[in-house]
Structure 1
Amino acid sequence: MTPSNLDEHSEEETEEKIKQFHELGLDDRILKAIAKLGWLEPTLIQEKTIPLILNGKDVLIRARTGSGKTGAFVIPLIQKILSNKEIHQHQQISGLILSPSKELCKQIHEVCTNLTIKCSRDIKFVDISAQLDLVTQQPLLIEKPDIIIGTPGRVLQHLKAKNLYLKKTIETLIIDEADLIFSFGYENEIKALLSYLPIVYQAILASATLSEDVLSLKKLVLHNPAILKLEEPPLAPPSQLTHYTLTAEENDKATILYTLLKLSLIRGKCIIFVNTVDRCYKLKLFLEQFGIPTCVLNSELPASSRCRAVTQFNTGTYDIIIASDEKALDEPHTTNQKNGKRRKDKESGVSRGIDFQFVSNVINFDFPLDINAYIHRAGRTARGKNEGTALSFVAVRERPMLNEIEEELKKLYDQENLFKTYQFKLSEVEGFRYRARDAWKAVTRIAVREARLKEIKQEVLNCDKLKSYFEDNPKDLQSLRQDKALHTVRLQPHLRDVPEYIVPSSLKMIASGIRHNKRKFNRKASIGTSAVKSKYQARANNPLIALKLFKK
């Protein structure tokens, strides 16, 4: 921690031994919940933040994704409520947590659930970010839960509808991902919302950066705050996060990805990033032809679908998720341009903040458009103390951007040759190239369009809001269910298997092991191959095994 160059009070980094959770004055029920989560000791930002919040100080938290910011403000909020309940007998809304997207609200709700597992009868909280009718959520608010979680727009709607009254009860306001609040278009909502709060309350801002928007928000809500600024790179150190590049033109990317996944040269859970929504579905349809299951996440999906995709990925239903990381997601003001043909949900964000759990590998199938996009993507892995890898496919035309990103990261890490070259010999996998080329061509624009229409139709059928409509208009439901067959990519069962004759001789031993060993979830990151014979076991954790095996 370093002193801030701002006027407010700041905390300085000390060389003292890290305090344990039980030394922070927390309730035993919270400590038991923390132990159940497997949190052995507080992160640096938690150690510094929790005492300040418990002492009633306004705090501005600045730390990179994965540093434990959510726990840093949820733990003391729960502690304060438990302490107040010993004094006040009546039920009241004490805490308000605002976040820019529904996905992040859902994650905060899950953290609250996990941390109150031993005091669930005493602490009540509700997430109102879902786009349901206000009347539907009104009964939840009448019960006056201790903590309200929601987006600024949704909370303001309930305040205007008089479903919420916070003027006399609210004690703590928390704004998560504060650097995105204004960029997601919530500036007016925040200013209007503050008029519904009491004159005196404790405020906490949590952010990955100290942008101009954060400084503007700080002036609106904070009073003489402590500014906790972790002077650390935006990504995990090279000892924890390994960066690879692989030179590949458009026609070769699909072949390489197919080979890496089908031969399990990549271990663990993966996020594959592309630059457009259409590319999400093209890649999904491509991999489906080879029996590789994936799920898709992009800003055009309804909030329920996005949350479901994240949940399925985190729980292991899918080991691979394909995410569109459009520039518009990093600069949300541009999403409402008149020329845009497709409506995006401003409360959605793919690369920022979403808690993808235990991600071993990030694969940039499409190279990111700028340094911020790369940092946001690579930041999905190597979170906490877990290891991770980031593999980027780089075409010749993308080389200048790679050089620019590499120069910026050198300044952050003060290290040369941060990016390691992953040398993949396409000549060794000619059989894979032949299959991949035909499968990639089979995914036409019509196939992509029809796949997206099929997903939309499925969402319509599953939509709770339309159930009553379909009950009154059964013919409309029947016409949807009996819609004409969609143009889909023809699946060929034999493509699911990898015949031995197309596997390079250097990898046949590994391919044989794959056939006899069911793939298991592995939280340890690796881009390489798992050894199946004793002479390879010594190198089992080396992510460059595949490179060595490819060499003659």
Structure 2
Amino acid sequence: MTFKELNISESILKTLDEKGYVSPTPIQEQAIPIVLKQRDLLGLAQTGTGKTAAFSIPIIQQLYLNCKKEQRRQIKALILTPTRELAIQINDCIREYGKYTGLRHAIIYGGVKQHEQVKALQAGVDILVATPGRLLDLMNQGYVHLEAIRHFVLDEADRMLDMGFIHDIKKILPRLPREKQTLLFSATMPQTIASISQSIQRNPVRVEVTPASSVVDTVEQYLYYVEKNEKKNLLIDLLGKDKKQSALIFSRTKHGADKIARLLCKAGIGSEAIHGNKSQNARQRALTNFKSNKTRVLIATDIAARGIDIDQLELVINYDLPDVPETYVHRIGRTGRAGNTGTALTFCAEDEKLMLRDIQRLTGKKLQVAR
């Protein structure tokens, strides 16, 4: 199937053609027709499956076709997402897909001064991408009005829950119009998310791709049993074998991420850390440097990594094993995207063997020990 067969308008197809996008991913193939029919949708999909396009393309199309005659610009689509990085990524996608539509979009998130964001809102916006805290703040200040909303997207709902944003979301929901299309996306479906879906959606169509227990076939996975104090030497040795290969390294803690970055820089391997204690500007700079290959290695905590979307990332290293086995699947899903192959290396110390057992039980696959 092609995007043209999904009845995407010419203005959006033009951008997709320029970017070389021909075939939709499974989530796009299933979700786009549902959203174009203005049905509510409950999407179970991980980051990296193409879900941003799955909701943004049909929303842009509906607004473009239905709002041409409207003179006043009001917020007609609200996309709520948990992290600044993910908000920036979604906003960039909307800029690309809506390039020839004339629709205006804006992004608001915390951690930076609000002046530029307020200025964009006052100029008039059709599509707003926001994180919950800053949205609530600007709503309370009278800069954001949601009475014209026709499309509402709650993205990464399970991560919203993990990060404690559920209370903010519950304050935002009553301020939205009753008549609207609601799209909810989540990698997992805990009871709280199921309850939210039931309370805000009308007969949603459920679409599910890449269940949490499955692992991308294009990712080669290898395991290293290593003493905790020897992990640093193993890491330097592995990164030294291919001096051009870019790598995303996962640390369980913010302190650990900074420590690994310092260690690698001392060894002459260009590295930066990204986590919640870094300023927004520092996080975005580190991400930009990594994407443009100015920095070879990025060390991240799980929450900070949620917004990292790089098509041709070659290597993921689990320096620390995650406490939650599903997180392992999210981590290694950062590589092996868009038809490319990737490699995931996992370091396992003695006190992490129980975590390893849980991961292997979830994925149904025993990790191959590296030689």
Please report the TM-score for the alignment, with normalisation by the length of structure 1: 0.64
- Report the counterpart of residue 57 of structure 2 in structure 1: 75
* Cα drift, residue 58 of structure 1: 0.7
| Structural mapping, 1:239-250, within 5 Å | 239-250=217-228
For the residue of structure 1 that corresponds to 2:314, the secondary structure is strand
Provide the rounded CA distance (Å) in 1 between the counterparts of 2:254 and 2:337. 26
CA contact (8 A) 2:274 2:301 kept: yes
- The reply to whether residue 214 of structure 1 matches residue 193 of structure 2 is yes
Work out the CA distance in 2 between the residues paired with 1:22 and 1:106. 27
Superimposed CA distance per residue, residues 214-268 of structure 1 (whole angstroms, 9 cap, x where no aligned partner): 212212321111111236454433x41111011221343222222222231x863
Aligned equivalent of 2:368? 420
Is 1:53–2:26 an aligned residue pair?
A: no
Spell out the pairing of 1:112-191 with structure 2 (5 A cutoff). 112-119=94-101, 122-167=102-147, 169-191=148-170
Alignment CA distance shift 1:252-1:187 (3 Å)? closer
User: Offset at 1:63?
Assistant: 1.5
Post-superposition shift, 1:144? 1.8
Distance 1:402 1:187, change over 3 A: closer
Deviation at 1:71, TM superposition (A): 0.4
How far has the Cα of 1:135 moved from its partner? 4.8
SS at match of 2:17: helix
1:292 aligns with 2:269: yes
* Distance of 1:234 and 1:116 partners within structure 2: 34
- What is the Cα deviation at residue 184 of structure 1? 2.0
Match of 1:271 in 2: 248
Is 1:377 matched up with 2:354?
no
- Residue 399, structure 1, aligned to residue 347, structure 2: no
- Distance in 2 between the 1:146 and 1:90 partners? 10
> Do the aligned partners of residues 278 and 86 (structure 1) sit closer, same or farther apart at CA in structure 2, a change above 3 Å counting?
closer
Match for 1:236: what amino acid? V
Separation in 2 of the partners of 1:57 and 1:157? 30
8 Å CA contact retained: 2:43, 2:208: yes
Hey, what's the Cα distance between the residues in 1 that align with 2:177 and 2:301?
41
1:162 and 1:400 map into 2 onto residues whose CA distance is 51
Cα distance in structure 2, aligned partners of 1:409 and 1:242: 14
Unaligned runs of 5+ in 1: 1-18, 326-348, 424-552
TM-fit CA distance, 1:86: 3.2
Distance 2:145 2:320 in 1: 47
AA aligned opposite 2:332: A
Distance 2:173 2:335 in 1: 36
Q: Which amino acid aligns with 1:406?
A: Q
Number of aligned residues = 371
Q: 1:256 is matched with which residue?
A: 234
Structure 2 unaligned regions, length at least 5: none
Q: How does 1:141-540 map to 2 (within 5 A)?
A: 141-167=121-147, 169-230=148-209, 232-237=211-216, 239-264=217-242, 268-325=245-302, 349-410=303-364, 418-423=366-371
Cα RMSD, aligned residues only: 2.0
1:278 to 1:92, Cα distance in 2 relative to 1, 3 A: closer
Deviation at 1:303, TM superposition (A): 2.0
Q: Which has the higher contact order (CA 8 A, sep 6+)?
A: 2
Say which SS state the counterpart of residue 380 (structure 1) adopts.
coil
Listed one character per residue, the Cα deviations across residues 15-35 of structure 1 (whole Å, up to 9, x for unaligned) are: xxxx31112222212111112
Q: Residues of 1 paired with 2:150 and 2:362: CA distance?
A: 42
Aligned equivalents of 1:31, 1:320: Cα separation in 2: 35
Equivalent pair of 1:273/1:366 in contact (CA under 8 Å): yes
Q: Which has the higher strand share?
A: 2
Secondary structure of the structure 1 residue equivalent to 2:259: helix
- Whether contact under 8 Å (1:362, 1:389) holds in the other structure is yes
> 3-state DSSP class of the match of 1:111?
helix
The share of aligned pairs that are identical, in percent, is 32
Aligned mates of 2:107, 2:181 — CA distance in 1: 21
Over 3 Å counting, the alpha-carbon distance change for 1:353 and 1:220 in structure 2 is: farther
**Distance in 1 between residues matched to 2:292 and 2:32, nearest whole Å:** 29
**1:146-188 deviation line (CA, Å, top 9, x unaligned):** 1011112211222221112221x21111111011223322223
Rounded to whole Å, the distance in 2 between the matches of 1:258 and 1:136 is 42
1:26 corresponds, among 8, 15, 19, to: 8
Question: Are the equivalent residues in 2 in contact too, given 1:249–1:396 (CA < 8 A)?
Answer: yes
Which deviations, in whole Å up to 9, do the C-alpha atoms of 1:527-549 show, x marking residues without a partner?
Answer: xxxxxxxxxxxxxxxxxxxxxxx
Partner residue of 1:434?
none
Do 2:214 and 2:363's aligned partners in 1 also have CA atoms closer than 8 Å? no
**Aligned-pair CA distance for 1:38:** 2.3
SS for the counterpart of 1:195 is helix
Instruction: Tell me, in whole angstroms, the C-alpha distance in 1 between the residues paired with 2:352 and 2:162.
Output: 27
Q: Is the 8 A contact 1:310 1:356 kept in 2?
A: no
Q: Structure 1, residues 110-154: CA drift from partner, whole Å, max 9, x if none?
A: 1111212333xx111000114444455322112221101111221
Q: Secondary structure, in 3 states, of the residue corresponding to 2:304? A: coil
In the alignment, what sits opposite 1:100? Answer: 82
In the alignment, residue 198 of structure 1 is paired with which amino acid?
P
Select the structure of larger CA radius of gyration: 1
Cα drift, residue 360 of structure 1: 1.2
1:58–1:225: 8 Å Cα contact kept in structure 2? yes
Measure the CA separation in 1 of the matches of 2:353 and 2:111: 42
Deviation at 1:357, TM superposition (A): 4.0
Deviation at 1:312, TM superposition (A): 1.6
Does residue 39 of structure 1 match 2:16? no
**How far apart in 1 are the matches of 2:85 and 2:139?**
22
Q: Which amino acid aligns with 2:138?
A: H
SS in 1 for 2:298: strand
The whole-number CA distance in structure 2 between the counterparts of 1:226 and 1:374 is 28
Displacement, 1:307? 2.0
Find the aligned partners of 1:184 and 1:368 in 2 and give their Cα distance.
16
Report the secondary structure of 2:38's partner residue: coil
- Structure 1 residue 270: deviation in Å? 0.7
Partners of 2:80 and 2:225 lie apart in 1 by: 42
1:182 alignment partner, SS class: helix
Q: Which deviates more, 78-87 or 131-140?
A: 131-140
CA distance in 1 between partners of 2:121 and 2:342 (Å): 41
Residue identity matched to 1:157: D
